[in-house]
Structure 1
């Protein structure tokens, strides 16, 4: 199956613009082939595409004589091949096409010379001279079929809702969501969110998938609903400027780049941003939150972050982290003991009055909005997986950050500050019970994250997340010191002690 689309390009500037658009979708491991006569536009496009991955201007020589030119310092590594002078197919092996295919974007001029050696997952662009213009006939094969079709739909959505805006790459997260910054002629910006509906296959036994067990958002409706309610309550979540719910597209408010984790002294001192973020959570804990929110004539239901969902998250440690550090699958008795130890702990945190829990309320998803006032200075993004649960969860996510070092002293001071805020609004606030829930959910979240980082490495090839494991292991260890977690601490000491966890 294939998908085809053609562009008529009337200038080199339009060719460069198309290349920049493709740079928003193509990444390392992809294969783009260029074909067409001499002077048809192949090299112009290739140079523009490579420059789109550069943060600074760079010279892009033609590899006509060298046959291959590598770019390893670009946003993604690129291998630029020119096969015009290729005489024998055996020469292709010597160039390292196959060796580079897993680590680089493969960009190949005169790709048709590979004939039956073309990969099944590829994007082919056939360049044709049309008078003074050029026609780029683009065909997506394999995984590129759906991606090319979505690229075309995204372009139409942007043209309809933000015409004339420049489109820039914006680093996303570990999810399937994709982001762009849209910049108008006057410099004002907004963000494009590209969030396809989940198509996670169901387990063969008919049980719920992991996403369903833990209530992860299935489509963009969750973002629209949660942001709408947060803004109505006076918090700063990105306002929705335009949306195509069925397609999974939205243009939202741009909060800028003052991400918490990049701020000076973040985590090493009690700074105003993190202190305000704590106060936001204390304020949210005192509100009555709805179980449903209307969006686009439909109803979005806020799922309960119940015992089964929390257990499914914690079990990621057994499914992914255990095999990573031990090289074996966990024995059934050890797995059963792990589950049994968690059950009464997770039942205990269910006794609190539930509030909206963002789940990822931490440094990558909080943006400091200095021009605003009060709690509105904390911009909250990545809201789609919000659920109803214990207020201790988000505080643990903030003060026990998996990606940024928050010192123990800062954590303790801010935990005390949170408790003081809660007491000031509610003299009956059960501080002892809250601190117990904080330790339980901190340990649960650390176990989950160890599993997620192992999964990202093993399944998705994102090995960079492994560098955070020592930090997350130390967070787990601190939480395990609470007396209520004594039995679970013994289990970890016996089967997954800190030295083993951190030897990844």
Structure 2
């Protein structure tokens, strides 16, 4: 079913913002058909879309009137097509636009010169009005939902006093969340977090979806609560400048662009040691379980309990094992696997507990060279924080899933953390056992998650991390607490063989 949106464009700035919003909604496979008379603004709108996808407001975008097709290698391929000079509709086949559409976005001016060429397209009709131009945008349900979300974000920015801001895609993470850099007409950049509440997830066990069992946050309220709590404790998490909790939208402080890794993507020992010391500071604080959220009831930090940790490890059987072995796990294998982890989780019950940020590794730590002390580290992606074994975040850092940590650097990180623990009750032997168990749990989970991201979500880039994760598990299996688990993995060839 088609849906239609109308926008009044009183000036070129409004046209640019419309292109900016349309660009935020586009995905490979989208064709955008631009209708209108000569001078109606089709090329101006196409330029705004292309510049937005390029993240370059000054990008040269020539009209394709004489070349027919102009290609751009941007975040995904884009083709800007002008069919005005097409003499015969049959000539459109020579442009091979149907093949390009499989991996590209195509912007088409004068699409009526080749009627019927593009099915299920987004259609934009531009017309002159007394108060400027009018754009009527029509799309089918799935694309219309994306456009509606983009327009909702613009409305949110207007409410926050940033209606004229220019939006640039920043990153999409391993979840459904996306982020944009927001460039105000004046002032420093901000970050938009776009995280609609989790809904309509399949039920997998005990009437609950995976996210509920794994204690994943369902709304941005958790981020607001944890970020505010961290800042109150002197830890640099983003300040929230505006929020729409119902829509899952936050306007955040931009903590900077400094990479936690070196220029070549290599781990920098100084930065990992600083991050370890920050964790030591965090783990010696008392954290309340109930955290306030402005305008809403308090957020209760959930327990990282046996059920949550177990459902994560099972991703190895559900996704990774079929990927590398070409078969499903047997019922007996599942029983043995579950029993081994149950015993390890019982041992973790005695470990030190603290606030666990859960994804404390290089993509989520910003290095701020110009700052001092704890302020040199900006922490993001904190919405899934739980109360659990303090060693978990140390394991996330010291065996970074996105950067190869040598055994020597791992030991340096652990030493830095333990040296910074000043509380008299800190027990390094107990910590090292909890570290080994939580690191094994996390890396087992990552094997399953990275395959799931490829197979279910169409994100194959994560498969490149599998050899690193397998190497970490092999290293961890030298700890006596993991002897039985190591034997299971070895017996069933979990870490053997080639990865596709």
2:230 paired residue number? 230
The aligned runs of 1:112-261 (5 Å cut-off) are 118-120=118-120, 122-130=121-129, 133-163=132-162, 164-203=164-203, 207-261=207-261
The separation in 1 between residues aligned to 2:336 and 2:91, in whole angstroms, is: 58
Distance of 2:388 and 2:205 partners within structure 1: 29
* 1:435 aligned residue: 432
TM superposition shift of 1:489: 1.3
Unaligned 5+ residue runs, structure 2? none
Q: CA deviation at 1:330?
A: 2.2
The number of residue pairs the alignment matches comes to 497
For residues 319 and 96 of structure 2, the distance between their equivalents in structure 1, rounded to whole angstroms, comes to 33
How far the C-alpha of 1:145 sits from its partner, in A, is 2.1
Deviation at 1:436, TM superposition (A): 1.1
Match of 1:283 among 281, 284, 302: 281
Equivalent pair of 2:258/2:369 in contact (CA under 8 Å) = no
Q: Is the 8 A contact 1:47 1:60 kept in 2?
A: yes
Q: Deviations over 1:456-496 (max 9, x none)?
A: 11112111111111111111111122122122212222323
Deviation, structure 1 residue 242: 1.3
Q: How far apart in 1 are the matches of 2:334 and 2:94?
A: 49
Structure 1: distance between partners of 2:93 and 2:320: 37
C-alpha distance in structure 1 between counterparts of 2:262 and 2:112, whole Å: 46
Distance 2:161 2:455 in 1: 39
Alpha-carbon separation, structure 2, partners of 1:114 and 1:451: 46
Partner deviation per Cα, 1:357-416 (whole Å, 9 max, x = no partner): 011111111112344442232211111000000011100111111111222211101202
Deviations for 1:11-36, whole angstroms, at most 9, x for unmatched residues? 44432332123222323233322222
Structure 1 residues 146 and 350: alpha-carbon distance in aligned structure 2, compared to 1, 3 A threshold? same
Q: CA RMSD in A?
A: 2.5
Relative to 1, partners in 2 of residues 1:92 and 1:186: Cα closer, same or farther, differing over 3 Å? closer
Compute the displacement of 1:220 (Å): 0.8
Q: Hey, what does 1:446 align to over in structure 2?
A: 443
Structure 1: how far apart are the matches of 2:119 and 2:322?
32
Measure the CA separation in 2 of the matches of 1:456 and 1:131: 50
Aligned to 1:70: 71
Aligned residue for 2:197, secondary structure, equals coil
Distance 1:58 1:356 in 2: 45
| 2:404 alignment partner in structure 1 | 405
Contact 2:17/2:166 (<8 A) preserved? no
Mark the CA change 1:431 to 1:205 in structure 2 (over 3 Å): closer, same or farther: closer
Report the Cα distance in structure 2 between the residues aligned to 1:334 and 1:205, rounded to whole angstroms.
19
Separation (CA, whole Å) in 2 of partners of 1:448 and 1:88: 56
User: Taking structure 1 as reference, are residues 340 and 270 closer, same or farther at Cα in structure 2, changes over 3 Å only?
Assistant: same
Instruction: Give the Cα separation in 2 of the matches to 1:208 and 1:114.
Output: 50
Q: What is the correspondence of 1:296-335 to structure 2 with a 5 Å cutoff?
A: 296-335=295-334
TM-score for both structures, normalised by structure 2: 0.92
Q: Is residue 393 of structure 1 aligned with residue 397 of structure 2? A: no
CA distance in 2, matches of 1:231, 1:344: 37
Q: Report what 1:462 is aligned to.
A: 459
Change (3 A) 1:314 1:381: same
- 1:179 Cα deviation (Å)? 1.8
Q: Secondary structure at the match of 2:54?
A: coil
Residue number in structure 1 paired with 2:475: 478
Distance 1:87-1:218 versus aligned 2 partners, 3 A rule: farther
Name the CA shift for 1:365/1:297 in 2 (closer, same or farther; >3 Å). same
Corresponding residue number in structure 2 for 1:425 = 423
Q: Say yes or no: does 1:503 pair with 2:473.
A: no
Is the deviation greater in 446-455 or in 195-204?
Answer: 195-204
CA contact (8 A) 1:259 1:365 kept: no
How far off its partner does 1:85 sit?
5.6
SS at match of 1:258: coil
Moved more, 378-387 or 482-491: 482-491
SS at structure 2 position matched to 1:24: helix
The Cα of 1:10 is off from its aligned counterpart by 3.5
Instruction: Specify the SS of the correspondent of 1:8.
Output: strand
Contact 2:29/2:104, CA 8 A, preserved across alignment:
yes
Q: Secondary structure at the match of 1:299?
A: strand
Cα distance, 1:156–1:330 mapped onto 2, change above 3 Å: same
The alpha-carbon deviation at position 266 of structure 1 amounts to: 5.2
Q: Greater shift after overlay, 403-412 or 59-68?
A: 59-68
SS of aligned partner of 2:74: coil
**Contact kept? 2:366, 2:377, Cα under 8 Å:** yes
Q: CA deviation at 1:63?
A: 4.2
What secondary structure is seen at the aligned counterpart in 2 of 1:382? coil
Mean alpha-carbon deviation: is it higher for 299-308 or for 165-174?
165-174
Matches within 5 A, 1:44-63: 44-54=44-54, 58-63=59-64
**TM-score normalised per structure 1:** 0.91
**2:10 maps to 1:10:** yes
* Contact 1:227/1:237, CA 8 A, preserved across alignment: yes
What are structure 1's unaligned runs of at least 5 residues? none
Cα distance, 1:60 vs. partner? 3.6
Asked if the contact 2:41/2:126 (under 8 Å) is kept, the reply is yes
Q: Conserved in 2, the CA contact under 8 Å of 1:366 and 1:379?
A: yes
Verify: 1:99 aligned to 2:96, yes or no. Answer: no
Following the alignment from structure 2 to structure 1, what is the Cα–Cα distance between the partners of residues 136 and 457?
31
Number of the residue aligned with 1:20: 20
Query: What is the CA distance between 1:289 and its match in structure 2?
Result: 1.4
